[in-house]
Structure 1
Amino acid sequence: MTSKKLSRKALTIAATILVAIALVYAFWPQPTRVDIGTVSQGPMQVTINEEAHTRVSELYVLSAPVSGRLLRLELKPGAAVVQGKTLVAQLLPNPLDSHEITQGQARVQAAEAAVDAALAALKQAENDQYLADQQARRNEQQARQGALSVADNEQTQVKADNAAAAVASAVAMLAMRRAELLNARAALAGSGSDAPFKAIDILAPISGKILRVMEENEKVVTAGVPIVEIGDVTHGLEVEVELLSRDAVQIRPGQPVQISNWGGDEIIAGVVSRIDPLGYLKTSALGVEERRVKTMITLPSLPASASGLGHGFRVDVAIVVWQKTSAIKVPSSALLRENGDWAVFVVDNGKAQLRTLRIEKNNGTEASVLQGLQVNDPVILYPAADLADGMAVEQR
């Protein structure tokens, strides 16, 4: 009987101990499972990223010089043209009536008289310059000998400079008058009886490719109607991007640009060439009104694989506003705010240790650290709100 009581008591004690151990194990604090990253060292950049599009830097819109019948165009988009040689279009000008002929002849006579007057003004300006230069040389020699004051000599030199400027102005005026004469004569191109059968040849103004044909079929057009667009997509391609105004103020001409998502795997290098000083209002796809600024990017060279790029193609640009060749980098997902400062949780001997940092730059993916971390320090990524300093943690 006594042995049975002892056995029952031992079993009870053992069961109690096992239950106590199970309870302690169940309620013992377990390490919090977290994602852990590593502090690294290497190059880092801060960029402004936007969608953009390519464009031809010098786009020429070829228009009808006079009213008339435009003959059918044979060239198609993509056709190569040579400056001053390739026949782009032909136009049969409308014949002029007697009143228009009289007016055109009067304009030609007025333009010819203006050219004669400009020639006379140029001759007079050249004579004045010759006399002013001669006087300036004589006064310069007298000033060196002390026979003329410095003020008088300087006044003579100024008169010589003014005379040279007058000659340049007269040359420009003569060129303008001659251009007016050419326009007046061109307006009379259809005055003859054979004008309906004499077509005006419209040649390519630059070498490049036909980008778009606006008037392909034969039709009657008025003067100034666009016919084709021509541009050099091989050597004259650039990128236009519309930046938010708050981003545009950080950009300077000469900053490097990385161009991607153009259809190839290579990154095309570009350079910021111009930031427009005028901002404008634009509504985004989400219906938000934004202030935008146009920025131009030049492409010093294109890889052979990008030969298919043309005018108006979509690309992505990343404008580099800051870069460092050897930065101590921490993942941006590890950062949190602590009393107005940046901080991270560093894993030290299985415990989370809160550490305040001094951040230099943050590009949204990585942050450059000036103080507070060392290379290869393990840090907790996406720290939870209830994570506290000193808590036990383990890799998830």
Structure 2
Amino acid sequence: MKYRILLSTVIVALLTACGNQPQGTQSDIETPVSVQELKKGSISKLINTTGTALATYSVELNSETSGFYALQTNPSTGRPYKLGDAVKKGQLIIRLENKEYENGIALESKKLSLEITEQEQSKQKALYEKGGVTLSEMRNTEVRVTNARLDLENATINLEKMSVRAPFDGVIVTLPHYTQQGRVNQGSLMVGLMAYSRMYMDINLPESAIGYVKSNQPVYVTHYTLPNDTLRGEISELSPAISTETRTFKGKVLIDNNGLKLRPGMFVKADIVVDRADSAIIIPKDVILSRRNRKYVYVVEKNTAIVRDIQTGLEDEDNVEVTQGLNVNDNLIIRGYETLRENSRVKVLK
């Protein structure tokens, strides 16, 4: 019995001691958080699509006659033309040599014929003014001059078929190998050129976007190999028809590529700017919490987490516009908000 009384006394003493210990509460714990002081900025509503960037001008030139192959020297490099060389409109890239073909054209003979007929025409005009020839005789001389001039023009055109020239400013993208002075046949591929300082891409947009996308809207174009470069473009064409199979409509985007960073054939992403808000409060999407159709965030006031209900507007991939609920200079909690409750004590990390 004595031992039982002693044991009971010890238990009561321990319970009393435990009851006198101060209990820590959640409100005494400071949760570490990071904040962002809100400033005004701009945000755009984007519609995303993808497609292949293509050169605005592209051509493959074939030989119009047979001849012996002579690749010309690029005056910019002092070496024979090669893949990747830039060329100017009218620049001679390849020359085909064929004496038999040139003799058949008889260019010099046709020049002489034109000169002779023009001299005869001058004499006939002088005689006609003096009454020495009839009007019909003078007209016949004019016909001969016209025919001689056309013969010379045709000869010049045929002779030019032996020269392969750039039809526009561009870059050599195809250049088959032929042995110098080797014979090539008519119709053989000589060179491929592209001009891609200005590019385009065909796009397909969902039916739901037809009320948003308009001609001349700006477009941001990116490629995964150019993570730090965003090219500018614009909507140039839009089809009013919806495909019954895909429920999409077609369009075309023109792309400014003055730095030639984008290459023909690249698969790119296009973000079409269909709306824009300037001087707006912008916050990261991932800090927004929701419950029962309610959107809210946490801000810091006097080391305390305060709940702010918000309404949102435009949004892009990462950010959203806040139209109500936040003010400039509010300290928005952007890290550590996951475990917070209303009026939780916080410690702002620098």
Give me the TM-score of the superposition, normalised by structure 2: 0.57
Q: Does the aligned pair in 1 maintain the 2:218–2:235 contact within 8 Å?
A: no
Give 1:229's aligned amino acid. G
Tell me the matched-pair count.
276
C-alpha distance in 2 between matches for 1:32 and 1:93: 94
Deviation at 1:320, TM superposition (A): 3.2
1:275-303 deviations in whole A, cap 9, x for unaligned? Answer: 4539999xxxxxxx99695632332x84x
Match status 1:360 vs 2:313? yes
1:252 to 174, 192, 214: 214
Distance 1:199-1:270 versus aligned 2 partners, 3 A rule? closer
Aligned counterpart, 1:378: 332
Deviation at 1:80, TM superposition (A): 3.9
Aligned counterpart, 2:254: 297
1:133-184 deviations in whole A, cap 9, x for unaligned? Answer: xxxxxxxxxxxxxxxxxxxxxxxxxxxxxxxxxxxxxxxxxxxxxxxx99xx
Aligned counterpart, 1:327: 280
Q: Does the aligned pair in 2 maintain the 1:77–1:210 contact within 8 Å?
A: yes
Aligned counterpart, 2:40: 42
2:23 to 22, 25, 32: 25
Distance 1:29-1:21 versus aligned 2 partners, 3 A rule? farther
Deviation at 1:359, TM superposition (A): 0.8
Q: Does the aligned pair in 1 maintain the 2:51–2:201 contact within 8 Å?
A: yes
Between 1:54-63 and 1:350-359, the stretch displaced more is 350-359
The aligned runs of 1:269-308 (5 Å cut-off) are 270-277=232-239, 293=250, 295-299=252-256, 302=258, 306=259
Aligned counterpart, 2:194: 231
Deviation at 1:20, TM superposition (A): 2.3
The aligned runs of 1:106-125 (5 Å cut-off) are none
Give 2:346's aligned amino acid. E
1:201-240 deviations in whole A, cap 9, x for unaligned? Answer: 33322233322224645575564x543222344xx43253
C-alpha distance in 1 between matches for 2:34 and 2:189: 63
Aligned counterpart, 2:60: 61
C-alpha distance in 2 between matches for 1:264 and 1:380: 29
C-alpha distance in 2 between matches for 1:53 and 1:230: 18
Deviation at 1:57, TM superposition (A): 1.6
C-alpha distance in 1 between matches for 2:161 and 2:233: 45
Q: Which protein has the bigger helix share?
A: 1
Partner SS, residue 172 of structure 2: strand
C-alpha distance in 1 between matches for 2:280 and 2:290: 21
Q: Does the aligned pair in 2 maintain the 1:244–1:292 contact within 8 Å?
A: yes
Aligned counterpart, 1:286: none
Aligned counterpart, 2:342: 390
1:49-79 deviations in whole A, cap 9, x for unaligned? Answer: 666665432222213336x467364532233
Q: Which runs of 5+ in 2 are unaligned?
A: 1-8, 73-80, 102-149
Q: Which runs of 5+ in 1 are unaligned?
A: 1-8, 96-180, 191-197, 282-288
C-alpha distance in 1 between matches for 2:100 and 2:251: 42
Deviation at 1:18, TM superposition (A): 3.9
Give 1:79's aligned amino acid. D
Give 2:69's aligned amino acid. L
